[in-house]
Chains A and B, each alone.
Chain A
Amino acid sequence: MTGRLAALARLGVVRRLGTGLAVLWAAATASYVALLIAPGDTVDILVGDGADTPEIRAAIIKEWGLDRPEIVQYLAYLWRLLHGDLGRSYQLQRGVGEVLATQIAPTVQLTLAAAATGVTLAVVIALATAGRGRAARGVASAAELVAVSVPPFLIGIVLLAVFSFTLGWFPVSGAQGPSALVLPALALGLPIAGVLGQVLRGGLERALEQPFAVTARARGLTERALVARHALRHALIPAVTLAGWFTGTLLGGAVITEALFGRPGLGRVAMEAVTGRDMPVVMAVVLLSALVYVTLSTLLDLAYRAIDPRIRG
């Protein structure tokens, strides 16, 4: 086992880490370039509504080091990043790291809750309907289709209308307590459940037709044991691929969902930063989502190897 882990480290993980770093560097550079070509003068943004005199402008240019050549600014930016310094927010006049740190918890809660909701629903529905009668499958795939095709904000509005305004079961906005998490998590998680459910059911049904499923049935296994011990693992392989994709939609979806449900969080920070041209914050959010992507896809790659022995080594 240790030998296998060592081999894994040699073959997979090291290379993955390398590409991960490259992706992060690319994201940092891309967001830096975006900052450069963004319309408007940085000094204008920094001056904002405050007093605008040549002296103040000169002081700002000096303070932010804007008089240095662009390449030097870029390298200095990378150098600060390497030391974990994300820079200062133009608008809030606070460290970007500090801004993100205070806002990250509600977003993490929301995305984790949404992912858990989506995955659980998908697994339950797929297990309940794979290989079953036409009616059960028809209802499930219709529901999945709706969940996938309706945009999350619309799902959110419908959920709010029904469960908050009409029934009053859940708070309309805010992030106080677990009950405030239910509707946003559903709004964000339902589309995932839709796609994932279809992929899982398709995978299960394919696996149940394979010769090894016949062999397993011939051993006296119940259909349930066959699904649990054999088919589910096969169905997970495409589902894991999909998981990498939906983490991306979760971050994007969080922006809308947080705005809709009046929740604090990174999505809101990002939106305010974009509208206020607070580029250091925007860049930090881009970097953070790249980091999440890289980390998750590395983990998923390892999950792949754990699920499918054929691609190990």
Chain B
Amino acid sequence: MTTTHDESPAPLVAVRDLRVAFKGTDVVRGVSLSVAPGECVAVVGESGSGKSVTARTLLGLAGPGAQVRASAFTIGGRDALAFGEREWRSLRGRFAGLVLQDALVSLDPLRTVGAEIGEVLATHDVVPRKWRRSRVLELLESAGVPEPEARAGQYPHELSGGLRQRVLIASALAAEPELIIADEPTTALDVTVQAQILRLLAARKAAGTALLLISHDLAVVGSIADRILVMREGRVVEQGPALDVLGAPAHPYTRALLAAVPSAASRGTRLTDGTPLTAGIPLTDGTPLTDGTPLTAGTPSTEGAGLPPHPAAPGQVVLAGSGLVRSFGSRRVVQDVSFTLRRGETLGIVGESGSGKTTVARLVMALLDPDHGEVALHGEPWSGLPERLRRPRRPTIQLISQNPLDSFDPRHTVARLIAEPLRLPRAERRARVLELLARVGLPPETAGRHPRELSGGQRQRVAIARAIGPAPTCWSATSPSPPWTSPCRRRCWTCWRSCGPSTAPRCCSSPTTLVSSTTSPTGCSS
């Protein structure tokens, strides 16, 4: 902002020893970072590492009840520690724009996308009122939105995920800020769209806009970042130029993150069974990670394409779908889908968003009846029955849903959520819940907490604990991994696989898993 006095240009934003606490619990524990003009700094870490809170705090948006402390905090050359709400507002949008993860919820669903972008122009008086509309169209066009005239009048739900994200970026760029803070800007997107959005961000960076990129995915960050900070449990465990961090990671946690990146080579290969990924990596203060309990050992296999059958000998058919057809209104979403799934097998159903994977999962769960075709469970009819007949058999097939937060009653505790499908006497319930928590690698005190207080990865593990509770013979999981950080994803996959054989003896030797709706094929490949 001001003329530079030192050898290097003054950073746009610099913070030293940032600490953010909610209700007395530190979420960010002494983070120092700075972003220079035109630079791209990436903050990487798994869910719950405090990276999002750090990003929002840089805009004074840590949230209600947050206690923010720092030994130094400058933004645009001014002392942010002395900022009141008015000073923050004048910076937001104007000096720094924010791009959040899922544009479907990050754009107001009740307003047209044109109005959302125009709002930035109006708030900061960027252009005179009469030029506003044409400026909105320019912004949409420069963000790669085709037919901006038509799009500006549409609502977020009428656009595809990729277009929405472009709109969100266009709105963050509207006042031509010097800094863009992007919090997981590509996480909710399909792989191909991810690449497009990254190209768009890279183009902005090339045009001189500084970028603070928050991501769990080192692969995303690697292509664009100049410097990388790796965060874990509220602390920066490693930082340096991107090439160094990616090429020669010093901290074991960074190595674990890197190992979890689905590289081009690892796509289509089987996930390692039972390797506790970040287990045993000490935290800076020496306490081991609570969820580092080694799960069952397994043989890592890294065969490429042409996957061999699952080691466990294929058993009888557990689940079979034949000629499934389902329409919503006039739109045929599922068209003639057939599959069989034998005991011990994992079947992956992969496709872009909108390809009908989730609908297949709902058909399998008999939450939806097919228009044609049928689903059979254990060789007996499953679809098209009255629910009264299906209910006794429901425990044998369990669902792990895409977004666990939405699938949990927010008012229930974790213990109640897990106990719900168990049908156990009260006395035995508690012990069983703790046993299940331990199996998915969560500490016993999680039982008393509410889903909102958990990180995304922890929630997913609760979802798994709930699904394996009734000892099902078949699971259906819809996109169980994309939204989380890679180590976490691996850990969940691993515990999921390993939980199977030991939970199942009541029903059969090895449960069957149907994985549907993974947008990336890395998730499900056995």
Q: Say if the beta carbon of B450 comes within 8 Å of chain A.
A: no
Given contacts A210-B105, A211-B102, A211-B105, contact A216 B110 (CB under 8 A): no
CA–CA, A234 to B168, complex, Å?
20
Q: Which of B90, B100, B107, B108 contacts A220 (CB 8 A)?
A: B90
Q: Does A233 contact B (CB under 8 A)?
A: yes
Chain B, residue nearest A207 (CB): B108
Evaluate contact between A230 and B111: CB separation under 8 angstroms: yes
Tell me whether A220 and B98 are in contact (CB under 8 A): no
Q: Distance (Å) between the CB of B295 and the closest chain A CB? A: 34
The stretch from B71-79, B119-127, B419-427, B437-445 touching chain A is B119-127
Q: Which residues of A contact B85 (CB under 8 A)?
A: 223
Q: Tell me if A220 and B106 are in contact (CB < 8 A).
A: no
Chain B residues with CB below 8 A from A222, complex form: 89
Q: Which residues of A contact B430 (CB under 8 A)?
A: none
Say whether, besides A214-B56, A309-B110, A221 and B119 are in contact (CB < 8 Å): yes
Q: CB < 8 Å: which of A218, A230, A234, A310 contacts B155? A: A310
Q: Is B109 an interface residue (CB 8 A)?
A: yes
Min CB distance A285 to B, Å, is 39
- Give chain A residues whose Cβ lies under 8 Å from the Cβ of B107: 212, 215
- A214 near B92 with CB under 8 A, answer no
* Min distance, Cβ B349 to any Cβ of chain A, angstroms: 28
Residues 103-138 of chain A: 1 if any B CB is under 8 Å from the residue's CB, otherwise 0? 000000000000000000000000000010000000
Query: Chain B contact residues (Cβ within 8 angstroms of A): what range?
Result: 20 to 34
With A211-B102, A212-B105, A214-B61 already in contact, the answer to whether A220 and B91 are too (CB < 8 A) is: yes
Provide the residues of chain A in CB contact with B105, threshold 8 Å. Answer: 210-212
When C-beta atoms are compared, the residue in chain A nearest to B117 turns out to be A219
| A237 and chain B: residue at smallest CB distance | B110
Task: Produce 1/0 per residue, A8-25, CB < 8 A to B.
Answer: 000000000000000000
Any chain B CB within 8 A of the CB of A80? no
CB distance from B120 to the nearest CB of A (A): 5
Q: What is the CA–CA distance of A223 and B56 in the complex, to the nearest angstrom?
A: 17
Q: How many Å from the CB of B377 to the closest CB on chain A?
A: 35
Q: Mark B251-262, 1 if CB is under 8 A from A, else 0.
A: 000000000000
Question: What sequence of 0s and 1s flags, for each residue 192-215 of chain A, a beta carbon within 8 Å of any chain B beta carbon?
Answer: 000000000000000000111011
CB contact between B106 and one of A131, A214, A233 (< 8 Å): that residue = A214
A218 touches B123 (CB 8 A): no
How far is the CB of B171 from the nearest CB of chain A, in Å?
7
B120: chain A residues within 8 A (beta carbon)? 219-220
Q: Does B97 belong to the interface (CB within 8 Å)?
A: yes
The answer to the question of B94 belonging to the interface, with a C-beta cut-off of 8 Å to chain A, is yes
Q: How many A-B residue pairs have CB under 8 A?
A: 78
Closest beta carbon of chain B to A20's beta carbon, Å: 25
The answer, yes or no, to whether A78 is at the interface (CB within 8 Å) is no
Partner of A217, one of B61, B97, B158: B61
- Interface centre among A216, A220, A307, by most B CB within 10 Å? A220
Within 8 Å CB of B69, what residues of A? none
Contact A218 B90 (CB under 8 A): no
Give the chain B neighbours of A212 by CB distance below 8 A: 105-109
| Interface status of B362 (Cβ within 8 A of chain A) | no
The B32-83 residues at the A interface (CB cut-off 8 A) are: 56, 59, 61, 64
Given contacts A211-B102, A215-B168, A309-B155, whether A220 and B94 have CB atoms under 8 Å apart is yes
B98:A215 contact, CB within 8 angstroms: yes
User: Who on chain A is nearest to B155 by CB?
Assistant: A309
- Tell me the bound Cα distance from A211 to B405 in angstroms: 15
Query: Closest residue to A310 on the B side, CB-wise?
Result: B157
The answer on a CB contact under 8 Å between B61 and A218 is yes
Contact B110 A307 (CB under 8 A): yes
Task: Please tell me if the beta carbons of A215 and B90 are within 8 angstroms of each other in the complex.
Answer: no
Question: What's the Cα separation between A96 and B500 when bound, in Å?
Answer: 76
- Residues of chain A contacted by B276 (CB below 8 angstroms): none
* Contact, CB under 8 Å: A220 / B109: no
Q: Which residues of A contact B92 (CB under 8 A)?
A: 217-220
- B-chain residues with CB within 8 Å of residue A229 when the two chains form the complex: 111, 119
Nearest chain-B residue to A219 (Cβ)? B93
Alpha-carbon separation in the docked complex, A86 to B59 (Å): 67
Which residue from chain A places its CB closest to the CB of B168 in the assembled complex? A215
| A225 interface residue per 8 A CB criterion | yes
- How far in angstroms is the closest Cβ of chain B from A209? 9
Given contacts A219-B171, A220-B94, contact A233 B110 (CB under 8 A): yes
Tell whether, in the assembled complex, residue B155 and residue A215 are in contact, meaning their CB atoms are under 8 Å apart: no
**Residues B98 and A221 in contact, CB atoms below 8 Å apart:** no
* A12: min CB distance to chain B, Å: 16
Is A44 close to B, CB under 8 A?
Answer: no
Query: Closest Cβ of chain B: how far from A80's Cβ, in Å?
Result: 43
A308 contacts the other chain (CB 8 A): yes
**A222 CA / B93 CA spacing, docked (Å):** 12
The smallest beta-carbon distance between B245 and chain A, in angstroms, is 28
The closest CB in chain B to the CB of A312 belongs to B155
B5 to chain A, nearest CB (A): 29
Known: A211-B105, A215-B168. A220 touches B110 (CB 8 A): no
- Per the bound structure, the CA–CA distance linking A223 and B91 in Å amounts to 15
- The chain B residue sitting closest to A309, CB to CB, is B155
* Docked complex Cα distance between A218 and B56 (Å): 9
A-side contacts of B109, CB under 8 Å? 212, 308-310
- Interface-central residue, A212, A225, A310, by most chain B CB under 10 Å: A212
A250 to nearest B CB, angstroms? 28
Closest to A221 in B: B123
Which residues of the other chain, A, contact B112 by a CB distance below 8 angstroms?
Answer: 309
Chain B residues closer than 8 Å to A308, beta-carbon distance:
109-110
Asked whether, in the complex, the Cβ of B123 is within 8 Å of the Cβ of A215, the reply is: no
Contacts of A221 in B (CB 8 A): 89, 119, 123
Q: Does A216 lie within 8 Å of B119, measured CB to CB? A: yes
For A213, the closest partner residue in chain B by CB is B108
Q: List, in ascending order, chain B residues with CB within 8 A of A223's CB.
A: 85
Name the residue on B nearest A1 (C-beta). Answer: B153
Q: Closest approach, in angstroms, between the C-beta of B163 and any C-beta of chain A? A: 16
Contact string against A for B residues 172-186, beta-carbon threshold 8 Å, 1 for contact and 0 otherwise: 100000000000000
Q: Which residues of B contact A217 (CB under 8 A)?
A: 61, 92
Contact B157 A230, beta carbon cutoff 8 Å? no
Chain B residues, Cβ within 8 Å of A219 = 92-93, 97, 119-120, 123, 171
CA distance A230 to B116 in the complex (A): 10
A214 CB to nearest chain B CB (Å) = 6
- Smallest CB gap from A229: residue in B: B119
B56 contact set on A, CB distance < 8 A: 214
Greatest chain B CB density within 10 A among A221, A233, A234 is at A221
Which residues of chain A are near B155, meaning CB under 8 Å? 309-310
Q: Are A215 and B106 in contact (CB under 8 A)?
A: yes
Q: Once the chains are docked, how many angstroms separate the CA of A220 from the CA of B172?
A: 11
8 contacts between A and B (CB under 8 A): A131-B64, A214-B56, A215-B107, A230-B108, A309-B109, A309-B110, A310-B109, A310-B110
List chain A positions with a Cβ less than 8 A from chain B: 131, 210-212, 214-223, 225, 229-230, 233-234, 307-310
- Nearest 10 Cβ contacts at the A-B interface: A218-B98, A219-B93, A220-B93, A220-B92, A309-B155, A212-B108, A211-B106, A211-B105, A219-B120, A215-B106
